[in-house]
């Protein structure tokens, strides 16, 4: 039942200054910078509070850990030593790591048994999405440092939990065509999207715990509204998934609602929502579906 998450070093720790040195002065300057500071712990990054909370989830009967976090990095073992020293300094139970020396750590996701991949490298995330992994690009910033209570994970609907089929109709023919399609197919489940299997794994972990005692809480935060909400609810029911909270916002900005939910992380395909949500919570851009295809073009 172990959930395995791969996370890049630039999302776990604040490596912005070191990365800027790499961009401005090249690899050798970056290497020298990291080696000089090998014993100086890195500050927490955007995903640090989430990782800290996930690593604390343990089986209620056996006390075995239920989440494993694997570090993946484009550093090599030499420059990566500062990262491992920082892991030890912060008391994180992370023992597996891949240092790919400039190559894409995405290549190792299958061997690692990864079910979620969080990275600051957009191309790696796209490769992972195309290969069928739940993956998101975390915009790097400093950690808020708030670590308390449940792990609260929020998802957008279309192009994240579900496919982007309905979104394609909306963008091609408008809101009325979208509503007509959802009405006509109200009894047909939506096709799974890139994060459907990850949501199912979270649901399975929740079921280990007695009612009301799960350390995980999930929310659907979608721009859909009535009557298109019905198809979403029936889809989750057919998948056998219980989601704790469902917010149908009818196109309203999601940031304040995520703040009220106290989300530790939010997964969203549209950059407009990513930018506003990231002011309040760690937000992963999911580069999937018609919206992101248009952006790429």
pLDDT tens, 8-47? 999 999 999 998 998 999 989 999 999 999 999 999 999 9
Q: What is the pLDDT of residue 223?
A: 87
For the segment 105-112, the average pLDDT, to the nearest whole number, is 88
User: Is 246 a domain residue?
Assistant: yes
Contact status, residue 98 vs residue 114, Cβ threshold 8 Å: no
* pLDDT at residue 241, as a whole number: 95
Number of structural domains found in the chain? 2
- The Cα–Cα gap between 126 and 66 comes to 27
Torsion of CA 21, 23, 26, 29, to 10 degrees: 10
What pLDDT, in 10s, does the model give residues 149-199? 899 999 999 999 999 988 888 888 888 888 888 888 888 999 999 999 999
Q: What is the pLDDT of residue 66?
A: 97
| Same-domain check for residues 163 and 252 | yes
Higher-confidence residue: 118 or 180? Answer: 118
Q: Do you find a cis peptide bond into 7, omega within 30 degrees of 0?
A: no
Residue at 85 is within a domain: yes
Residue 184 is assigned to a structural domain of this protein: yes
- Summarised one tens digit per residue, pLDDT across range 211-226 is 889 999 999 999 888 7
- 281-296 pLDDT tens trace: 999 999 998 888 865 5
Q: Which residues are marked as active site?
A: 156
Which residue reads 């939990």 in tokens? 161
**Which domain, by its residues, includes 60?**
3-138
Q: For residue 247, what are its two tokens?
A: 């917010």
| Residue 143 is assigned to a structural domain of this protein | no
CATH number at residue 112: 3.40.50.1000
Quote the crossing angle between the two packed helices 16-25 and 27-36, to the nearest 10°: 150
């Amino acid at each position: 039942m172990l959930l395995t998450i791969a996370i890049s070093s630039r999302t776990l720790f604040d490596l912005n200054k070191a990365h800027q040195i790499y961009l401005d002065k090249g690899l050798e300057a970056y290497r020298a910078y990291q080696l000089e500071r090998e014993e100086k712990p890195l500050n927490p990054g955007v995903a640090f509070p989430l990782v800290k909370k996930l690593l604390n989830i343990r089986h209620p009967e056996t006390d075995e850990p239920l989440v494993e976090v694997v570090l993946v990095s484009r550093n090599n073992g030499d420059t990566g030593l500062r990262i491992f020293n920082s892991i030890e300094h912060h008391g994180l139970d992370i023992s597996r790591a891949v240092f790919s020396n400039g190559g894409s750590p995405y290549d190792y996701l299958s061997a690692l048994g990864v079910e979620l991949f969080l990275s600051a490298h957009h191309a790696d995330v796209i490769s992972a999405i195309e290969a069928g992994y739940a993956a998101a690009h975390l915009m790097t910033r400093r950690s808020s440092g708030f670590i308390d209570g449940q792990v609260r994970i929020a998802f957008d609907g279309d192009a994240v939990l579900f496919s982007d089929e309905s979104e394609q109709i909306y963008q091609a023919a408008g809101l009325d065509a979208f509503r007509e399609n959802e009405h006509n197919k109200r009894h047909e489940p939506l096709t799974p999207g890139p994060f459907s299997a990850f949501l199912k794994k979270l649901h399975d972990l929740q079921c280990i715990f007695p009612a009301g005692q799960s350390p995980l809480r999930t929310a659907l935060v979608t721009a859909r509204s009535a009557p298109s909400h019905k198809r979403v609810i029936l889809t989750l029911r057919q998948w056998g998934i219980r989601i704790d909270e469902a917010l149908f916002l009818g196109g309203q900005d999601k940031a304040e609602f995520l703040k009220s939910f106290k989300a530790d992380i939010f997964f969203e395909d549209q950059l407009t929502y990513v930018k506003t949500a990231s002011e309040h919570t760690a937000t992963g851009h999911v580069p999937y579906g018609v919206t992101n295809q248009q952006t790429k073009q």
